[in-house]
Each structure stands twice: as structure tokens, then as C-alpha cells.
Chains A and B, each alone.
Chain A
Amino acid sequence: MALRFGLVVSALALMVVGLTAVPAHAYDLQDPTRDCNDCHSSDETGQQSRKGPHAGYTTGTQFCASCHEVHSAPAGSGLLLPGPTAKATCETCHDGTGGSGVFGALAARGVIPEGAVPPATHRMEVTNLVPGGSSEGTSTMWFSAEGLLSCLDCHSPHDAGTVEPFVGDRVRGEEDTRSPVSSSRLLRRMPTGADVAVSDYGSQWCASCHRARMTGGSGPAANHPVEDESLWLPGEYFHYGNVARVTGLDTTDTAHGALGGSNFGYVMPDTNGSAEAPARTEEQGPHMPICQQCHEDARNVGDFDDSADQGKVLSSDAAGLHEGFRPSVNGSETAAHAADPQEYYNPRFGSFPHESANEYFLIETDDDLCLNCHVKQ
């Protein structure tokens, strides 16, 4: 009899405990005093990043849920929207109306016909194929948009664990006491597929996915100009540090000598010295390329003021308003200063590596590209 009573009481007690139990580590989505930074408080360097709408989320969970599927919302909930949510979120601003246009800028400027597919594009939320991902030529990867490539595979919207800023991309405002601004483009140090973190946006970064390009000369994934890794010192081929590029926001110096008020060392110089790309300099000459020197749009990094040691000043007059924010093809001559501003405007800027008017994202087409290195004697 006592045993039966004991069993009954124990069962009732277990039921009460079961009904009142709370998961030990559940995050209380209803608690307005909690926010994401309670857990996600720092990046890899231990510094909490606060950059525009891309960091400093302290408003509580409702903010995070704008972009995130927190703990998988129930079926039918608007929060559980599928993969395209990430791109849609980015393009809420990055359609040109809130920042640089990413996709569609080439068609909008007539560079490619309306409705045409750009000759080269990283197709967000469409593909998982990686050209040059394997020595056989192509491989697939599992990306963040339910397996498909997403903006988030390369960019960290929260600026957590991002690469070093491109110090040449400098700009500051008139009467603004801040230092010249540079940007990392919120590129992750470890994009999807990376085995190790890289601090710079160089070849190693691209090779997180396009791995076969770094193995040297075998199979259909030809790796010209990396014909044979043994030609270079171990770890020194295709290295970002070998590129002549400015070393700070307030200098024209590079690790390989002064290039003037630009960052031409980062782009593939034109041996013929065209307006769009200057002749190869002595500083650039002996250094080995990185992916971006053939696969990239020309990067304008802005001039220095004649007398100042700061980056380009934005003033409230006509020229200043757009010269810093409308980079041109020619790094030494901005749209505002050019005799024909239209001629120097470059809608491709900001499009790479999202879409390109050139196949394979090459910065130049035809023989011009080859002649950058294979100089006519």
C-alpha cells in the first residue's frame, strides 16, 4: 500500500517538476533587458565593433530578428523566411539608394544590355559551384544560404573578424575631426571554406573557395601565372604582402617605395601607360602578383591634398561632395577634376567581385592584359 502511495506521489512530483522546469541555457526572447551582445560581445580581436548599422546591436532581440532566424521560428512565422532573406536584407540599403549599388549597377549604366546576365558574376543564393575549387576544375561547397552562396559567406554584417582595412580607400569630411576613413568591406578573415584566418584581402582570401588556384599548375584548373609553386619561396607566391600598396592612411609610401598619392600597386598596371592605368613603376616591377591584380576593377584610393597629410577632403561644394564618394577609373584624377567627368566615372567600382562586364572578372580584356606583364621590347 505504502509503495503504491509512494509511486503515485513520486509520479505527481515528477509531473510538477516537468511542468515547471526551464531549459538551462535557453535564451529568453521575451526579455527586453537581454540583447545579442550579452553573448556575442566581441570580435576576434576582443574589440567590440561599432560601425554604422553593421554593429553595436544593443536594442534587444527584436533588432536581431529583423535579419536572423533566431532558434528557428515556428512555421508560418514571418521570421522564418528562407535563404533569400540575407540578400534581401543587404539590398535594403545596398541597391544604390543607401550605399554603393552592388548588383545591377552595370545594367543601370548601360555597361551590359538590359536583362543580360553579366559575363561574370558571383550569383548569390543561386549557386554552390566553385570554379577552380578543385584540380578537376569545379567543385561544390556548402554555403550559408541553405547550401547556396550568400553575401554572408564573404561579409560579416557585424564587422566581426574582418580583414585589415584597405588603407588606400581613404576619405574624410570637411571640418570632421575623425581620421580618414578606410574600410575592410566587412570581409571575413575566414570566409566560408577557409581553413585558416587571413588578415588581408589577398590571394589567400580568394583561395578559401578557389583552392586549386593556389596549388600550382596541374589539371584543367590552370593556374597561370602560378605555374609552379617551387618557383617561389615557400609561402611567398601570390602573397598580398608582395604588392606595392600604400601602407597607411596618411602616407604615400608603400613597403616597396613611394608610389605617389595613390595605390596603383594594387591594380594591374598598364605597360602602355593609359589614362586608366599608369605605366608599371619601378616599385611594382619585381613583385609577384595576387589574384586581384588580374581579377579586379581598378581601385581608386584618392589623392592627397597638395599640402596636407590627410586623405581626400570632402567639402560641401559641388566637387567635394562627390569626388570622394564617386571613385574614378584613374586613381590620380577624380570625376570632379577630370576634364570630362563622365569619362572617368567607373560604375564597376564596388561591383567586383559581385558582377563584371569582363569574363572571369578580368580587369582588362584582350591582349592588353597579357601585355601588362609580357612587355613588348
Chain B
Amino acid sequence: MIRGRQQRIFAALAAVLTAVLVGLLVVLFGLMQRQEVKPSEPQAGLRAEIVVSGPAEGDHPLFDRPLGAAFGKDGRVYVADTGNNRIVVFGADGTYLSSFGRFGVAKPASGSTATWTKGELNAPVAVDTDTDGNVYVADFYNDSISVFDAEGEFLRRFPDPTKPVGKGSSGQGGGGIAVTDVAVLGDRVLATDTYQVFEFTRDGRFVRQFGRPGTGPADLDHPNGIAIDRSGRIYVADSNNQRVAAFDAAGVPLWRLGVPAADFTRGARPFNVPRGVAIMPDGDVIVVDALDHVLVRLSADGKQVARYGQRGVAPGELNFPNSIDVDGDRLLVADKENNRVQVLRLETIRNQQ
């Protein structure tokens, strides 16, 4: 009688434990199948349409840390192949077309010799195009912007890297600008310097400058991205201040998203190192965050709308991305540490259209 009761108890226990075990296995199996998405993680939403890692021919078939890229005439893609001191041109379908530019020193140190001749570059870090298809290259170590036509023929450069610009700039020895990005819209050419934004006309006439070292509303610290929207508003990736700032057409501060490191507080930050900026077709602003490896989308009034992408080496993933350009629903990202550029589509853009 007792033995029979013990058997029933053991049997009941075994049944319960078996049921629990089966339930646990079902739950675990389900977890293994689930796509893990962290609430605080960027949401994937990028689909690679074109991925290019270089011209695949010549002495340098591969890119060497490309920092900039821009769409141009007829959907062409211009890549600032920084380490190779050249601009590489691709067709809208990613077919290699041509390259132009080679190494030349315009600002030598004392005791060294200038070697620069027309069309030569020294760390081209950014590129943009105008409506005529001309290509504007931020020639970082030569402290100037070099302009080429769509086929790579040198047209001009400005400012003069040997002379002060406006009230002064951060070019070597006080001449020219230590240009980190360039944006062209209409006749306006804007460029970021170490602590300032400079505006020129397309033919290189100096218009204005704004910004200064610091963390205040009008201050900048190593900005590395700039864009202009159709209203004339200027958006700057204030990189070392870990924020994106908007200015009106005259350079008056409008808003900032993100706070400099000195103001760290517990909680999520909008940006770690924002570098590239572009304007979306709907007027939103899209920003590349190099250390978060994501694209951050903002409304024109500075509210975060979405974050896209994730770190990785697969197509559509990013690894220290540095710049972005937009052409309709196509995004062009210089995926620096993957040594490639990608033309991406953002699913949300298509959904909105």
C-alpha cells in the first residue's frame, strides 16, 4: 500500500518534471530561433545595392581607407580614396569608370619642398558635386578645396592655402583651411575647418565664416560633416562635441542634438562620433556615426527619427562609416574600415513613398 503510494508520488513528480523539461526545451528552442533585437540597439534597415572596394585594376586595385563619397552627374559615384590620394569614379551601376588625382604636397614643413601641381591631392577626405557635375574635393593636408570637372579635369582650387582666410583659420601656418568636409548647393560652397565653417561661392570667393573652439552653442570642435538643405539651413556634424548642430543660412545657431562629453549623464546618447551629414528627400537629416557604426535619422528640427544599420563586414553592414550622400532613395556611404563604399536602400524611405 505504502509502496504503491510512493510509486504514484514518484510518477506524479516525474510527470511534472517531464512537462517542465519539455516546456523549457520549447522555450529555449523558440529563443534560439528568434532574431535578437535589443531595444537600445540600432535597428537594421539597410539593404546593399552596390558594394565596391576599388577600381579592381591598376597599381592600386583596392581603396585605402576611403573617407568620403558623393553622387554626381548621371548618378555617378565619386569616392575620395584618401590613403591613395585620388578620386575614383564609378557609374550609377557601380562600374569603374576612371580615377584622377595623385599625391602632391602644397604645404611643406620647414626644410621640405612643395611638390604640388594642378590636380594633385594630399589626403582627400571628402567630396561633393554641383549641378554642373563639377567635383569639389576637400584636400585636407593641402588646406584647400580642389575643383574638377565631371571627367576629372582640374579647374581651380580655393582658398589660397598660403594666405589667411577671413579672420583666420586652422590651415598650416594660418593659411588656407584644414578642410574636413565640403557641401555644395546652388552657388554656395560650405566647408568645415578645425573649429569653424567657411562659406565660399563656387568660384572660390570667400563669403563668411562662423564657429570657434569650445562647447557653447556657437562653438565647434573638429567638425567632420556638413550639409545644406533647400531652405539654406546648414547642418554640421560637430564631431568632437558629439553632437549635430543646425545653423541658419547666416550661421546663427538654431538647435543642437547631443551633448559634449563633459556633460555626460547616465543614459543613451544620440551620437558618439558623428562624422557625415546629408539631407533626405523628405527634408530629414541623416548622420553617420563612426563609432556607433550606424546611420541616425533626424527631423529638420532636430528630433531623432530612427537609427539604421549595425556593425559588421557583410553587405549592408558598416564598420567605422565616415560620410554619406543621398540621391533619391539611394544612400551612398563611405564604409571606411571595410575599405569600401556602399550604395544602400533604406526600407523606410520606400515605405513612405
Contact = CB atoms under 8 A, between A and B. Distances in A.
A290 B314 CA distance: 49
A347 to B, nearest CB: 5
Nearest to A32: B40
Contact of A52 (B111, B212, B261): B261
Given A5-B7, A109-B112, A318-B164, A19 B264 contact: no
Classify the secondary structure of A's interface with B: loop
B170 interface: yes
B174 A335 contact: yes
Interface stretch (A89-97, A192-200, A247-255): A89-97
Nearest to A105: B141
Task: Give the interface size class of chain B.
Answer: 35 or more
A321 B213 contact: yes
Contact of A13 (B17, B25, B212): B17
Contacts of A336: 174
B129 interface: no
Nearest to B116: A110
A30 B311 contact: no
B14 A59 contact: no
Nearest to A93: B273
A53 B317 CA distance: 24
A60 B40 contact: yes
B115 A110 contact: yes
Given A5-B14, A19-B21, A342-B173, A59 B268 contact: yes
Interface residues of A, number: 73
A79 interface: yes
Contacts of A93: 222, 239-240, 273
B115 A318 contact: no
A56 B259 CA distance: 12
B24 A19 contact: yes
B213 A314 contact: yes
B147 interface: no
Interface in A57-92: 58-60, 62-63, 65-67, 77-79, 81, 88-89, 92
B249 interface: no
A2 B3 CA distance: 8
B6 A2 contact: yes
Contacts of B290: 92
B125 interface: yes
A89 B322 CA distance: 12
A81 B314 CA distance: 13
Interface string A1-33: 110011011001101100110000000001010
B292 to A, nearest CB: 6
A108 interface: yes
Contact of B312 (A12, A66, A78, A329): A78
Interface stretch (B50-58, B101-109, B149-157, B296-304): B101-109
A111 B239 CA distance: 29
Contact of A98 (B13, B24, B224, B261): B224
B172 interface: yes
A325 interface: yes
A321 B10 contact: no
Nearest to B318: A78
B110 interface: yes
Contacts of B39: 32
B192 to A, nearest CB: 9
Given A53-B291, A66-B272, A173-B213, 20 more contacts: A6-B10, A8-B14, A9-B14, A15-B21, A19-B24, A53-B273, A60-B40, A62-B38, A93-B273, A96-B141, A97-B67, A109-B107, A109-B109, A109-B112, A110-B112, A314-B213, A319-B168, A326-B172, A341-B173, A345-B172
21 contacts: A5-B7, A13-B17, A32-B38, A35-B266, A53-B242, A58-B265, A62-B38, A78-B293, A88-B320, A93-B240, A96-B140, A96-B141, A109-B112, A110-B108, A173-B212, A320-B168, A335-B173, A342-B110, A344-B110, A345-B173, A348-B109
